[in-house]
Structure 1
Amino acid sequence: MVICTSVPVVIPKDGSLTKVTIKDIVGTFLTNEWPNIDPEQLTVTHNTGYANVNCVVERPRPKDYIHSEPLKVFLKIYGELDGEIEVFKHLVPNKHEETQLCFDYGQSGLGAKVYGFFQTQNGILGRVDEFLDARNLEPEDVEDMNIRADIARGLAVFHTMTTQLEKKPIQSYYDTVTRELAKYHHMDKLKTLANEGGVSMDHLVDYDFGSRLRRVTDKLESIGGKKGWCIHDFQFMNVMVKNNPMQGESKIVLLDFEFVFQNYRALDIGEHFVQKIFQWFDEESKIANCRPYIEEEKRHFCEEYARQWNEKTGDSDTGEQVFAESELGVLLAITFEIHNMLCFMDQDNDKDPLNILALNKLFEEFLSQYKRLELES
């Protein structure tokens, strides 16, 4: 059980950190060597995310003893809106629950270890995690069958993980997302914003996603689609590839569990396949210049996933079954992404043409997959 520890520091609302504050936080959890470090000797590399502050903290390698505590750690300060979409707030874990998820997954050897979870004197929450010698997953990585297999196995372990989270009915999510998509259906504001950005998306706004989404979930139920702890935000930036994995160790690590709740396992698998052609943090294009996942690669992924799922659950699923579910999961994943982007577009008055072009690409992928699966009939 992860306990939230009170630390005797104050962090400004902007998340700015002094080296003394950082040392005091880390030293609360790594108690043998870190408390004795001169704060001025720390090297701190800051990374500002969407709504949180992350930094890598490194101390000098000691000259007169062999260190027993890590030289580098990853420090995360939660922002007030970290990872939240208000309409899903009743489904997603709170920060304590998220930390417990990270801790549990870290115990599997497939995630970063959690050293501590804390709250400052002024109520700000944060985590101290293992620093990973790793890089973000790139599109060409999944064309390597070994990396692809590790991702499949890691995802199956996460989906089947034993956790203290409440298993909320998945229908609660589909009721919410269908209602919200209906709100954006025919919304003139979205059409106007897109046109002001120089890219029309009238066809997307006028498309009835809700009725199609119901057909997808009905089909999944009819083929026995299984459920698990889904990550939902399973983009490539949330998968790390280790630079120097040990012999026999998984090459990948999964990150960021702000959106975890029960759903069809197909959604995460389908999301992984779709996300290969998107690069959300690129400043020139959100659409990656690469080929999409091919069927042979998808089937290999599903075979590896099924093997790991069966090992964890005692089931006897086939790769073919998982593949059939994943084909429908692509549509679930795209609908989730489109909803979230329309939500942010509406609330932030976003008219960035790169985002709108990516929305249109998602829509194009949805139409193509929906037609191919012949769901209207």
Structure 2
Amino acid sequence: MATCTSIPVVIPEDGLPTNAMIKDIVGTFLTKEWSKVDPETLVVTYNTGYANTNCVVERPRPKGDTHAEPLKVFLKINGEFDGEIEVFKDLVPDKHEEAQLCYDYGRSGLGAKLYGFFQTKDGAFGRVDEFLDARNLKPEDVEDADIRADVAKGYAAFQAMATQREKKPVETYYDTITQELAKYHKMERLKRLANEAGVGIDNIIDFDFVSRIRRITDRLNSIGGKKGWCIHDVQFMNVLVKNSPKPGESKIILIDFEFVFHNYRAFDIGGHFLQKMFQWFDDETKIANCRPYTEEEKTHFCEEYAMQWNETTGDSDTGEQVFMESELGFMLAITFEIHNMLCFMDQDDAKEPLELLGLKKLFDEFVNQYKKLGLEGQGP
């Protein structure tokens, strides 16, 4: 179990702990060698964002190259604001629950090992994890059948994973997001912000997402759509590809569990297909310069997913069943992204043109998929 350890350090205001602090934190959990390291010999590579401080910490290689503890670790310290959207606060895991998810995933042999979960004297939470020699998944990676299969199996294993998190009813999420989208429906202020940026989104603001989401979830229920632990934030940066995988082991690892809660498994599967078309952290465009998933690739993904899901759960699902669910989950994932973008517009007066062009692309994908599945004539 991931127990929280109190560590008597105070993180500086800039969020960057000193080498001595890092040594004390890591040495609390790795007591044989890290606790004796000279802090000045540590090499720390920081990666600070708007939410968290992440860093890779490396200690000197010992003489003779024999060591009982890893030479590198990954250290994460959560900031005061770590991306949580207020309306989902009762659904997303707290830091202890997130650490437990990481612990359970690591114990499964599929994810990074959790060496320790801690809270500092000033109240900041953090984790010391296994360092992963890996890179972020790229859109072209999933055009490789082997990597695509490993991503599919990775999601299936995670979604069916045994963990101590409470399974809240999925209706809780859909009640919340439909109430929020209803709030933004026809909101003139959002239209004005977008028009000031030169990217009109009036048709998106005036669109009735609420009744359409209900139509989609009704269809999912009618075909027996199954539920599991969804990550929700399934952008490609949250899948790592190992640089040197061992023979027979998965080439990928899933990361970032800040938004994990129970939902239709189709949400993450369809969301994965969706995210191939976007690159949200690019400074030039948010729309990826690549082709979307093909039908054949989706079919292969869903077949691999079904085999892993069945192996984990004992079910007998088919790839066809998973594919049908994913087609509906694709739209649910879009409404999640659209909601979050409208939320940030409303809260922060955000009107970045590139983000708005991405929003328009999301909307077009939703409308086309809704029509493709024949839902247009059955609902609003």
Q: Which TM-score band (shorter chain)?
A: over 0.9
**Corresponding position of 1:106:** 106
How far apart are 1:13 and its partner, in Å? 3.9
How far apart are 1:14 and its partner, in Å? 3.1
How far apart are 1:187 and its partner, in Å? 0.8
What one-letter code is carried by the residue in structure 1 that aligns with 2:167? K
Q: How many residues are aligned here?
A: 377
Deviations 1:103-161 (A, max 9, x none): 10011121111100001111111000011100000000000000000011110111111
Q: Is the 8 A contact 1:37 1:59 kept in 2?
A: yes
TM-score, normalised to structure 1, is 0.99
Deviations 1:260-314 (A, max 9, x none): 1110000000000000010011000010000000000000000000001111111
Say which is worse superposed, 33-42 or 293-302, in terms of deviation: 33-42
Question: CA–CA distance in 2 between the matches of 1:32 and 1:197?
Answer: 57
Aligned: 1:95 with 2:95: yes
SS in 1 for 2:281: coil
Question: CA–CA distance in 2 between the matches of 1:345 and 1:50?
Answer: 17
Question: CA–CA distance in 2 between the matches of 1:167 and 1:320?
Answer: 26
TM-score, normalised to structure 2, is 0.98
SS in 2 for 1:374: coil
What one-letter code is carried by the residue in structure 2 that aligns with 1:361? K
How far apart are 1:90 and its partner, in Å? 0.6
**Corresponding position of 1:60:** 60
Aligned: 1:36 with 2:30: no
Deviations 1:170-219 (A, max 9, x none): 10100000000000111111111111111111111110100100000000
**Corresponding position of 1:70:** 70
The share of aligned pairs that are identical, in percent, is 74
Describe how 1:344-363 pairs up with structure 2 within 5 A: 344-363=344-363
What one-letter code is carried by the residue in structure 2 that aligns with 1:360? K
Aligned: 1:254 with 2:254: yes
Structure 1 stretches of 5 or more lacking a match?
none
How far apart are 1:49 and its partner, in Å? 2.3
What one-letter code is carried by the residue in structure 2 that aligns with 1:90? D
Shift >4 Å, 4+ stretches: none
**Corresponding position of 1:223:** 223
Question: CA–CA distance in 1 between the matches of 2:215 and 2:202?
Answer: 23
Question: CA–CA distance in 2 between the matches of 1:112 and 1:83?
Answer: 22
Describe how 1:35-184 pairs up with structure 2 within 5 A: 35-64=35-64, 66-184=66-184
Question: CA–CA distance in 1 between the matches of 2:148 and 2:136?
Answer: 14
Q: Is the 8 A contact 1:52 1:77 kept in 2?
A: yes
Question: CA–CA distance in 2 between the matches of 1:281 and 1:300?
Answer: 28
What one-letter code is carried by the residue in structure 2 that aligns with 1:148? R
The alignment's C-alpha RMSD in Å is 0.8
Aligned: 1:271 with 2:271: yes
Question: CA–CA distance in 1 between the matches of 2:50 and 2:140?
Answer: 26
Q: Is the 8 A contact 1:228 1:264 kept in 2?
A: yes
Question: CA–CA distance in 1 between the matches of 2:108 and 2:149?
Answer: 17
SS in 2 for 1:23: helix
Describe how 1:298-377 pairs up with structure 2 within 5 A: 298-376=298-376, 377=378
Q: Is the 8 A contact 1:5 1:119 kept in 2?
A: yes
Q: Is the 8 A contact 1:83 1:259 kept in 2?
A: no
**Corresponding position of 1:234:** 234
Say which is worse superposed, 31-40 or 62-71, in terms of deviation: 62-71
Question: CA–CA distance in 2 between the matches of 1:145 and 1:310?
Answer: 20
What one-letter code is carried by the residue in structure 2 that aligns with 1:29? F
Q: Is the 8 A contact 1:270 1:329 kept in 2?
A: yes
**Corresponding position of 2:209:** 209
Say which is worse superposed, 268-277 or 43-52, in terms of deviation: 43-52
Question: CA–CA distance in 2 between the matches of 1:312 and 1:249?
Answer: 16
Q: Is the 8 A contact 1:232 1:267 kept in 2?
A: yes
Question: CA–CA distance in 1 between the matches of 2:234 and 2:83?
Answer: 13
**Corresponding position of 1:297:** 297
How far apart are 1:373 and its partner, in Å? 0.5
How far apart are 1:12 and its partner, in Å? 2.5
Question: CA–CA distance in 2 between the matches of 1:75 and 1:49?
Answer: 14
